[in-house]
């Protein structure tokens, strides 16, 4: 058999094998959250006038994302004992048993497997948030989401992330100090970036 005939036969066999296995599907991609760029910010109304704001983190965790199949999983560990408002005496008060109760429960958790997509972009992540040992349903709304390629040594690494927000009632988790003068509704704003494993 001539080399040209052998090459044609080999290509035909390869094409036949590809057709038999069907179309290729993208695999889920795992990301590890970058603690330098992943924090939870919170806002709560103070005596009906100004808004109290603070930050918790860095947050650690893992994300599994299949943008083609429109599925995902997320698991976050949120170190609430790191709460910071810029005022140490207020931070200490927030850590007390009738608010964040950080001595008994130094971490909060968010786990989710229900993702809503528009195209290949996640628009909502619904899961379970645990604070002070109490678990409640929580939905994160996507404000923005994007991926980029970043140089890493001799290779390139994909980084994906975005901004998300959610609302919760702190009384549902047993954090009742100051009600109703300090607001019950807390707005969470999450910044998150994950590096592809």
pTM attached to this predicted model = 0.82
Four-point Cα dihedral 118, 121, 123, 129, nearest 10: 140
DSSP E strands: which ranges in 7-120? 29-33, 39-46, 50-56, 60-66, 71-78, 108-118
Q: Cis peptide leading into 78, omega within 30 of 0?
A: no
Predicted confidence (pLDDT) at residue 172 exceeds the cutoff of 50: yes
- What DSSP character marks residue 80? G
Give the model's pLDDT for residue 1: 54
Q: Using pLDDT thresholds of 50, 70 and 90, give the confidence band for residue 155.
A: confident
Rounded-to-integer distance, Cα 165 and Cα 41, Å: 9
CA diameter of the chain: 89
Write down the domain spans for the chain.
25-196
Rounded-to-integer distance, Cα 146 and Cα 6, Å: 46
The fold for domain 25-196 equals: Lipocalin (2.40.128)
Note the pLDDT tens digit of each residue in 25-64. 468 999 999 999 999 999 999 999 999 999 999 999 999 9
Q: Which two tokens stand for residue 175?
A: 């954090």
Q: State which H helix or E strand residue 88 sits in.
A: helix 88-94
Q: Which two tokens stand for residue 88?
A: 């140490």
């Amino acid at each position: 058999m001539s080399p040209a005939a052998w090459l044609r036969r080999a290509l035909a066999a390869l094409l036949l094998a590809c057709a038999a296995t069907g179309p290729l599907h993208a695999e889920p991609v795992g990301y590890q959250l970058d603690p330098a760029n992943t924090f939870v910010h919170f806002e709560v109304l103070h005596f009906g006038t100004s808004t109290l704001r603070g930050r918790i983190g860095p947050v650690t965790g893992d994300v599994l994302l299949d943008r083609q199949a429109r599925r995902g999983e997320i698991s976050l560990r949120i170190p609430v004992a790191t709460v910071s408002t810029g005022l140490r005496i207020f931070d200490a008060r927030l850590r007390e048993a009738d608010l964040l109760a950080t001595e008994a429960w130094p971490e909060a958790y968010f786990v989710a497997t229900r993702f809503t997509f528009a195209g290949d972009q996640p628009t909502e992540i619904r899961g379970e948030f645990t604070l002070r040992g109490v678990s409640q349903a929580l939905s994160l709304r996507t404000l923005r989401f994007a991926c980029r390629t970043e140089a890493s040594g001799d290779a390139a690494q994909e980084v994906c992330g975005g901004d998300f927000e959610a609302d919760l009632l702190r009384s549902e988790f047993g954090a009742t100090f100051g009600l109703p003068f300090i607001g019950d509704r807390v707005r969470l704003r999450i910044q998150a970036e994950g590096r592809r494993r």
